[in-house]
Structure 1
C-alpha cells in the first residue's frame, strides 16, 4: 500500500512540475511538426486519467488472477519511449489553447482522487466498465499503475517538448 501511494505521489508531483515549467505561451506552442503542444499532452492525460478514475469507481468483480499480473507488460509497453503509440479518439485533446492554471488544478484533483482511491478501495478487484485494448479488464491495482506509467510516459514527452522550445 505504501509503495503504490509513494509511486503515485511521485508520478503526479513530477508531472505537475513538468506542466508548471511552461509559461502560458509555451504551453500552447507546437514544438515541431506533427507534435502536440504541452497543453494538448496535459489535456490527453486529464481525459485519460479522469476516465480511469471513473472506471475504478464503477462496477467490479473478484479477481480470478493475480491483481498485478498485467503490470510487467504495461510497464514495458508504456515506459519504452522508443515506441510510438496512437491515442484512441475518445481521449484525443482538441487543438485549442489551454489554461495552465486550470490544467494544474485538474491534475492536482486527479492526484488527490487517486490517493483517496488507493487508501479506500479494494485494489484487487477487476474493473468491469472498460476493457483496455491489448490488456483486457484491469484490476484497480493495475489501473492505478496504468495511470502512473501512462503519466510517466507523457511527462517524458513534456520534458522533451520543454527542451525543444527552450532551445529556440
Structure 2
C-alpha cells in the first residue's frame, strides 16, 4: 500500500511539474475565459491546498481501515462534471504569478508530501481539521486527498492550456 501511494505521489508531482514547465510565462498568466483562473492561480491553489501541516498536527489512533475514505475522495474529486468552489483560505490571489516561483513552491510541497508518506504513521487520524462531508481523515487519506485534488487541477490546467493555445 505504501509503495503504491509513493508511486502515485511521484507520478502526480512529475506530471504537474512537467505541465507547469510547458507553459510560457505569458500563457501561465493568461485568463483562458471569463470566470476562470489562470494556470498560475491554479498552481497557487494547489500549493496552498497541499500544505502538509495537517499531517504533522494532532492525531489519534483509530480502529478502522486507514484508506476507508479514499474511494469516496476519488469519486468526488475525479468527477470533472462537478464544479466546485474553493474555500477562501486556499483561493489564489489575483495578478501575475511567476512560473519559476510556482515550480519552486510545488516542488517544496511535493517533497514534504513524499517525506510524510515515507516517514509518518499513516494509519492515525488527523484531528485538527475535517473536510466537510467526509469527517476526519487518516494521514493516508489526507495524502490521497492532496494527491487526488491535485489530479483534478492537473485536468483543469490542461484545459486552460488548450484554451490559451487556441486563442
Q: Deviation at 1:64?
A: 2.7
CA root-mean-square deviation: 0.7
Provide the C-alpha distance between the structure 2 equivalents of 1:70 and 1:98, rounded to a whole number of angstroms.
34
Q: State the Cα deviation string for residues 39-95 of structure 1 (Å, max 9, x = none).
A: 000000011101xx1000111000232111111110000001111101011111111
Provide the C-alpha distance between the structure 1 equivalents of 2:98 and 2:112, rounded to a whole number of angstroms.
21
Structure 2 runs not aligned, ≥5 long: none
Provide the C-alpha distance between the structure 1 equivalents of 2:105 and 2:91, rounded to a whole number of angstroms.
17
TM-score normalised to the size of structure 2? 0.97
- Superposed, 1:108-127 pairs within 5 Å as 108-127=107-126
- Superposed, 1:7-156 pairs within 5 Å as 7-50=8-51, 53-156=52-155
Q: What is the aligned partner in structure 2 of residue 158 from structure 1?
A: 157
Provide the C-alpha distance between the structure 1 equivalents of 2:53 and 2:124, rounded to a whole number of angstroms.
14
Q: State the Cα deviation string for residues 85-132 of structure 1 (Å, max 9, x = none).
A: 010111111112111001101111111111111111000000011111
Provide the C-alpha distance between the structure 1 equivalents of 2:71 and 2:7, rounded to a whole number of angstroms.
18
Q: State the Cα deviation string for residues 134-163 of structure 1 (Å, max 9, x = none).
A: 111100000000011100000000000001
Provide the C-alpha distance between the structure 1 equivalents of 2:4 and 2:42, rounded to a whole number of angstroms.
26
Structure 1 runs not aligned, ≥5 long: none
1:75 counterpart SS class: helix
Provide the C-alpha distance between the structure 1 equivalents of 2:77 and 2:140, rounded to a whole number of angstroms.
16
4+ long deviations beyond 6 Å: none
1:132 counterpart SS class: coil
By percentage of residues, which structure has more strand?
1
Q: Deviation at 1:24?
A: 0.9
2:129 counterpart SS class: strand
TM-score normalised to the size of structure 1? 0.97
* Count of aligned pairs: 166
